[in-house]
A and B are shown apart, each in its own frame.
Chain A
Amino acid sequence: MSISESPAPDQTPIETTATTTATADASNAPGGMTFEERRHARNLGISYVVLAGVTALFLTRHEGTATFNLDGGRSFGLPAQGLGWFVAAALAVTAGIQLWRGYGKYTNVVLAMASILVFMSFLSWAAAGRSFSFIGMLASAVTFSTPLIFGACAGIMCERSGVVNIAIEGLLLSGAFTSALVGSIAASWPGLGDSSGFWVGVLAAMIASALLAWLLAWLAIRFKVDQVIVGFFINFFVLGLTSFLSSRVLTENPDYNDTPTLGAWKIPLLERIPILGQILFQQTVFVYSAMLLVVVFTWFLFRSKWGLRTRAVGEHPRAADTLGINVLRLRYRNVILAGAIAGFGGSWWTATIGRFNENITNGRGFIALAVVIVGRWHPVGAISAALLFGLFDSVADKLSLLNTGLPSEFIKMTPYLMTIVVVAGFVGRSRGPKAAGQPYESQ
């Protein structure tokens, strides 16, 4: 986190990635380092030096102990100043080794450990002499990155089969609206309770978003309209339509906009694991669904016939067609399925807040789109990127109430900035499915 205070280390990794991307294919000679790799290693070393400097200069300024509150009244304290000096020294040593001979295959492990050290040192600096709920911060990161995970999985499913989906925002929003409206109405049906009514709403949300996704697929596949343009169109359309219906229907009939919020569903035994239990296993069904989705989706994408075909259609549809795969039908199916996933993700808002409000998704669909790219079109990458963004977001929230003296506008910006820095540092080159965005015409 500390790097946000100085522009210098931010630029180094970004520059590295840019140059790597441009010329990475130049040489793949086995054994020994290529020029690009050497440069990357050198830049990384310089980044450590700068990071060590920033840590020593800034993060050692606050005296006192930062108390990290855990669950059940437990807590641990870190001396802010001492930790700052320790981390600065550790980074200096790391930088030396990196510049001298590098870490080989452990490069990213070392980078991750260094990042965690800086992160903890930063938190200690921010909370020196005070206490804050460390567990609460991590749990909130998981809770509020859930819609990003659903949105990103929907995006990956489309793009992997060769359809660019800019409309994630619109699909999430339609899911949020439909689940609130239908869920509220269904709950008042005789025989259906609040809970079953809510799930009827979720089902309706999945159908509504799947229909919109079908519209996207129809225009993009059947009529070969530019996929980005169609995506725009759906985003506008949904935003306008839901806002209109919200002011005309929901405002006038508050009963149509009133579902119960979905409380936490604690998983027996697992929820008792210290620390991890409260972060991961005392959440709502939506959080578990997101995790399950990532596991199932990853398995299917890389281990099943459907996954192989999807990836083939996304990379080289002509070849797939030649082998007898129905490219268009597969694309239709995947886009519609992605719509249903996004609709489910959209009902997270209804489950969390218990109502709909104009533009309630507020651009999360676009962040999900970024998460797709940051996660390198891989579900596991996407969940990591989403959780990372969620983490920085909840750190920003904690910062704003710890009176660090940082301007609130700056704090609001940090999640985005840090995601870029981490992506540039860790992810490096990112390449999407080759055929994404290109309409396919069978011959």
Chain B
Amino acid sequence: MRKTKRFAALALTASLFVVAACGDDEEEGTTTEAPSDTTAAGSDTTAGGSDTTAAAGGDGEAVSACEVTDVGGVDDKGFNQSAYAGLQQAEAEIGAEIDLLESSSDADYAPNIQAFMDKGCDVIITVGFLLGGATAEAAKTNPDQQFAIIDSDANDDAGTPDDFADDVNLENVRALNFATDEPSFVAGYLAAGMSETGKVATYGGINIPPVTIFMTGFLNGVNYYNEQKGTAVEVLGWDGTEGSFAGNFESLDDGKKLAQGFADEGADIIFPVAGPVGLGSSAYAKEVGGIRIIGVDVDMYVSNDKEKEVYLTSVLKNIDAAVFDTVTNVADSGDPGDDYVGTFANGGVGIADYHDQAGDVPDELKAEVEELIAMFTAGEMTAS
């Protein structure tokens, strides 16, 4: 009896790990087809590199580009999906062979990367900061394999993961980073101008730099508005170092709970930086009305048709453009290219249309937002 119980407890603990680790079994090896609505984010952008002539790979065959997603999956209406949209563009325009593996937990990162190396992909694109460690490890031990990673530098940490000073840049990894604080700054300015209660809010998925860079940009944008106009619009959920986080990128009910909490405190504009979790906030905004949401990564008015009316605008991170650029580089020269930073200037980041809420935004504020974007594009403004 006692033994059974002990085993049950042990097994329960083990199951927590195993569930975390094995969820991917069903999907392993399937090449997920194109989600139909993926090409939402700005396909009108030309990213960093200019050598985008369509040509086959160096060996005369079609270039093969493979994506390893982070948890959240390729249908997250966020960065995984956006990266895949870039691959689909490469498939359509330069005839690249594309493949995809979804990670259900951090334990899937390394095996998924290994699977693509075994398959002989020309370039492996890993999506997300959290894959940095696994990507760096694989790139270090396979110097001939080309990689590109979103939201991380995937540097070789020289055995000291906490010490960034001795990190070594890996030749075969192209880092695709985005100055998302720029459009977030603009969104913060816009939100401060639109708020009727004088309170706006933001929250993140988990407390990691590619998430908090949005939140800091947003906070700075609100503060800039306050400076310019002498107002005192308050930002809930982020003070520059600590704030509100869902703790994951999966539980939509956490997004609803956080939105409800912010609304209780009087916030009327919410900027979730938490992938699918933000959809919970949109559901709440639609249910109660009177709350505006700012979308993240892609134009959520387009990608989330169900609650499109709640979006004031979206902060665009044009991952698809950067991914497409990377694949064309590999097709042209076998090399993914130099590290990339997306900005307003090169179209790597942007602000979406107001769509249905265009009528609510005063013309004066619209003009100020345009002016801000122009200043960023010209390099006359910084988000920090």
Are A408 and B260 within 8 A (Cβ)?
no
The 7 closest A-B pairs by CB, nearest first: A136-B264, A240-B26, A133-B264, A251-B75, A400-B244, A362-B251, A228-B11
The reply on A25 being an interface residue by CB < 8 A is: no
- B251 → chain A, closest Cβ, in Å? 4
Instruction: Give B contacts to A, CB under 8 Å.
Output: 1, 4-5, 7-8, 11-12, 15-16, 18-19, 22-27, 30, 32-33, 35-37, 72-75, 102, 104, 201, 207, 236-237, 239, 242-245, 247-248, 250-254, 256-258, 260-262, 264-265, 276, 279-280, 283, 286-287, 305-306
Complex: chain B residue closest to A134, CB-CB: B264
The reply on A236 being an interface residue by CB < 8 A is: yes
- A152 → chain B, closest Cβ, in Å? 15
Q: How far is the CA of A33 from the CA of B132 in the complex (A)?
A: 60
Number of A-B contacts (CB under 8 A): 167
> In A149-181, which residues have CB < 8 Å from any B CB?
164, 166, 169
Are A353 and B283 within 8 A (Cβ)?
yes
Are A408 and B207 within 8 A (Cβ)?
yes
Are A397 and B19 within 8 A (Cβ)?
no
> In A349-369, which residues have CB < 8 Å from any B CB?
349, 352-355, 357-363, 366, 369
Q: Which chain A residues border B1 with CB–CB below 8 Å? A: 434, 438
Contacting residue for A254 out of B251, B256, B305, CB 8 A? B305
Q: Which chain B residues border A361 with CB–CB below 8 Å? A: 251
Known interface pairs A166-B8, A258-B306, A401-B265; 13 further A-B residue pairs with C-beta atoms within 8 A, sorted by A's residue number? A132-B264, A132-B265, A136-B260, A137-B264, A232-B15, A244-B27, A251-B35, A360-B253, A362-B248, A362-B254, A394-B261, A400-B242, A437-B8
- B265 → chain A, closest Cβ, in Å? 6
Q: Which chain A residues border B22 with CB–CB below 8 Å? A: 236
Q: How far is the CA of A363 from the CA of B4 in the complex (A)?
A: 23
Are A349 and B23 within 8 A (Cβ)?
no
- A266 → chain B, closest Cβ, in Å? 14
Known: A247-B74, A362-B250. A397 touches B287 (CB 8 A): no
Known: A353-B280, A360-B250. A140 touches B265 (CB 8 A): no
Q: How far is the CA of A263 from the CA of B279 in the complex (A)?
A: 17
Q: Which chain B residues border A273 with CB–CB below 8 Å? A: none
Are B261 and A247 within 8 A (Cβ)?
no
Write the A224-250 contact mask toward B (1 if CB under 8 angstroms, else 0). 000011011001100111011011001
Known: A239-B19, A247-B27. A352 touches B256 (CB 8 A): yes
Q: Which chain A residues border B245 with CB–CB below 8 Å? A: 400, 408, 412
Write the A125-142 contact mask toward B (1 if CB under 8 angstroms, else 0). 000000011011100100
Q: Which chain B residues border A244 with CB–CB below 8 Å? A: 26-27, 30
Most chain B CB within a 10 A radius of its CB, from A164, A258, A397:
A397
Q: Which chain B residues border A239 with CB–CB below 8 Å? A: 19, 23, 104
Are B257 and A133 within 8 A (Cβ)?
no
The reply on A115 being an interface residue by CB < 8 A is: no
Are A169 and B19 within 8 A (Cβ)?
yes
Are B73 and A243 within 8 A (Cβ)?
yes
The reply on A432 being an interface residue by CB < 8 A is: yes
- B259 → chain A, closest Cβ, in Å? 11
Instruction: Give A contacts to B, CB under 8 Å.
Output: 69, 132-133, 135-137, 140, 143-144, 164, 166, 169, 228-229, 231-232, 235-236, 239-241, 243-244, 246-247, 250-252, 254, 258, 261, 263, 349, 352-355, 357-363, 366, 369, 394, 397-398, 400-401, 403, 405-409, 412, 432, 434, 437-438
Complex: chain A residue closest to B253, CB-CB: A352
Are B252 and A358 within 8 A (Cβ)?
no
20 A–B contacts, CB within 8 A, in A order: A132-B264, A133-B264, A140-B261, A164-B8, A169-B19, A240-B27, A241-B26, A247-B27, A247-B32, A247-B102, A254-B37, A258-B306, A261-B287, A349-B253, A353-B280, A357-B279, A400-B237, A400-B244, A434-B1, A437-B5
Are A166 and B11 within 8 A (Cβ)?
yes
Are A357 and B250 within 8 A (Cβ)?
yes
Are A409 and B207 within 8 A (Cβ)?
yes
Q: Which chain B residues border A143 with CB–CB below 8 Å? A: 257, 260
Are A401 and B236 within 8 A (Cβ)?
yes
Q: How far is the CA of A345 from the CA of B368 in the complex (A)?
A: 48
- A259 → chain B, closest Cβ, in Å? 10
Contacting residue for A401 out of B26, B237, B248, CB 8 A? B237
Contacting residue for B8 out of A136, A228, A252, A360, CB 8 A? A228
- A347 → chain B, closest Cβ, in Å? 13
Are B265 and A353 within 8 A (Cβ)?
no
Known: A397-B261, A412-B245. A236 touches B4 (CB 8 A): no
Complex: chain A residue closest to B286, CB-CB: A261
Are A363 and B242 within 8 A (Cβ)?
no
Are A243 and B239 within 8 A (Cβ)?
no
Complex: chain A residue closest to B23, CB-CB: A239
Q: How far is the CA of A135 from the CA of B263 in the complex (A)?
A: 12
